[in-house]
Amino acid sequence: MKLLIKNIKNLVQVEENPRIKVAGTDMKTLPCIEDAWLAIEEDKIIDFGKMEDFPGIVDWSGLQVIDATGKLVFPSWCDSHSHIVFAASREQEFVDRINGLTYQEIAKRGGGILNSVKKLREVSEEELIESALKRLNEVMMQGTGAIEIKSGYGLSVEAELKMLRVIKKLKTLSPLTIKATFLGAHAVPTEYKDRKQDYISLIINEMLPQIAEEKLADYCDVFCENGYFTAEETIQILTAAKGFGLTPKVHAEQLSNSGGVKAGVKVGAISVDHLEYLNDEDIAALKSSETMPTILPGAQFFLQEPFPPARKMIDSGLPLAIASDYNPGSSPSGNMNFMVSLACIQYKMTPEEAINAATINSAYSMGLSKTHGSIAIGKQANIFITKEISSYSFLPYSFSNNSIETVIINGQIINA
Ligand code: NIG
Ligand code: FE
């Protein structure tokens, strides 16, 4: 199938020479073409340009044309961090926090991650697939075109494998591009309370070999935090995971500075995520690495943690990515438009910086730089067309309003 989108008011994030990431002052630039056209064939972007240079079409047979007068075209958001497979919501903990308890206090009482673990172990793969598909469809209509999904609510061999098999199934059922991450080290399960090293041995000696054999994950992640896993344990687990062909990621410096960034850099993590308690030493460590610092504005906002030092990171020359962290405990929304708005409003990132962070840089955080994250010839035709809006800055400005009119995934127009 061929698709031509013409009279595009502004074609956003266009690249003649695709980059794998954007850092520092380069993040202030968002390459665009005004009054543009874009051609898609099958599931790929095949060409684009200015309307005044439109070459004309020789063969109109089977060509579908969309007139985007007054509208903008964006590459779909890349959401490089989510926990979208879960069994139940946790609004009671939300109410408990309103009434004064902290996330950590709730966790100590058996709530938090362990609450989701209890519920996930009770439900079938089919139920998990059904609810996760609903969420995937929802975020797709909000402009997400690629998403990473973590395990980590199983925490036993059987339940972690169940979660990862669900994610594998979702890859075939959803049109979205999906990457899978093994997060067995999300918390220490109740059965291993006071026996953390035994649980780590279970991860390394039983979970990882089976996951590698069934090819169930692309990445391995660890929640490096006080009361969860230390920096040393993070290094131990991720080094073992690398031996099984899994690329490291880290949940780092979310609730305290616990050494997750330095641990991630040491093991060559593709991304370190959260970063609310990032310090200057961490910035220095990141500067000498290929690791993508990734902020999760939804979780920071929902838990009311301090702002990650986004400006400081960018101003010191680092790249920065944005993801949603969609999960029932700390970010019950996967709406990337809202994450981009939060980054602009709260962290003083410019719209250009935030859009770069949620496209090219978040594609890097999930190993998709070559195929996603920008409008470039040969890339996957995952894009969205806005309603008639005045400029790309209107999108983060008009927070929580829906500026998206049409979603195209793999070259297909998606009907809600
Ligand atoms: O990224 N920090 C650890 N994991 C999730 C929260 C998971 C949960 O509360 O269920 C996060 O914020
Ligand atoms: Fe997370």
Site residues for ligand 1, CB cut-off 6 Å? 83, 112-113, 116, 223, 251, 254, 299, 325, 327-330
326 Cα–ligand 2 center, Å: 8
| Residues surrounding ion ligand 2 at CB below 5 Å | 325
Inter-residue long-range contacts of 156-159, CB under 8 Å, 24+ positions, other chains counted: 156/121, 156/189, 156/191, 157/202, 157/206, 157/207, 157/210, 159/117, 159/120, 159/121
Closest Cα to atom 9 of ligand 1 = 329
Residue at 133: amino acid letter? L
176 Cα–ligand 1 center, Å: 23
How far apart, in Å, do the first and last CA atoms of the chain sit? Answer: 20
Which atom of ligand 1 lies nearest, measured to the CA of 112? 9
C-beta of residue 31 within 8 angstroms of C-beta of residue 15: yes
**What span, in angstroms and rounded, lies between the C-alpha atoms of 65 and 98?**
50
Tokens at 252, concatenated: 């780092």
Helix (H, G, I), strand (E, B) or coil at 183: strand
What is the strand order of the sheet 219-224 is part of? 77-79, 144-150, 177-185, 219-224, 247-252, 271-274, 292-295, 321-322
Closest CA to 183 of 216, 148, 219: 219
For ligand 1, mutation pick of 327, 331, 333 (most atoms within 8 Å of CB): 327
65 Cα–ligand 1 center, Å: 43
Tokens at 254, concatenated: 């979310």
Stated as kind and residue range, the H or E segment containing 190 is none
Give the phi and the psi of residue 400 in degrees, each rounded to 5. Answer: 70, -5
Inter-residue long-range contacts of 231-235, CB under 8 Å, 24+ positions, other chains counted: 231/258, 231/259, 231/260, 231/262, 231/263, 232/263, 233/185, 233/196, 233/200, 234/185, 234/259, 234/260, 234/263, 234/264, 234/267, 235/263, 235/266, 235/267
Instruction: Per residue of the chain (416 residues), give pLDDT as tens.
Output: 799 999 999 999 999 999 999 999 999 999 999 999 999 999 999 999 999 998 877 777 789 999 999 999 999 999 999 999 999 999 999 999 999 999 999 998 889 999 999 999 999 999 999 999 999 999 999 999 999 999 999 999 999 999 999 999 999 999 999 999 999 999 999 999 999 999 999 999 999 999 999 999 999 999 999 999 999 999 999 999 999 999 999 999 999 999 999 999 999 999 999 999 999 999 999 999 999 999 999 999 999 999 999 999 999 999 999 999 999 999 999 999 999 999 999 999 999 999 999 999 999 999 999 999 999 999 999 999 999 999 999 999 999 999 999 999 999 999 87
Residue where the block lists tokens 């169930």: 216
111 Cα–ligand 2 center, Å: 16
- 256-265 residues labelled b (16+ CB within 10 A) or e (exposed): ebbbbbbbbb
Going by their DSSP bridges, the two strands 71-75 and 383-388 should be labelled as antiparallel
15 Cα–ligand 1 center, Å: 34
Closest CA to 404 of 31, 5, 74, 78: 74
Which atom of ligand 1 lies nearest, measured to the CA of 299? 12
Helix (H, G, I), strand (E, B) or coil at 200: helix
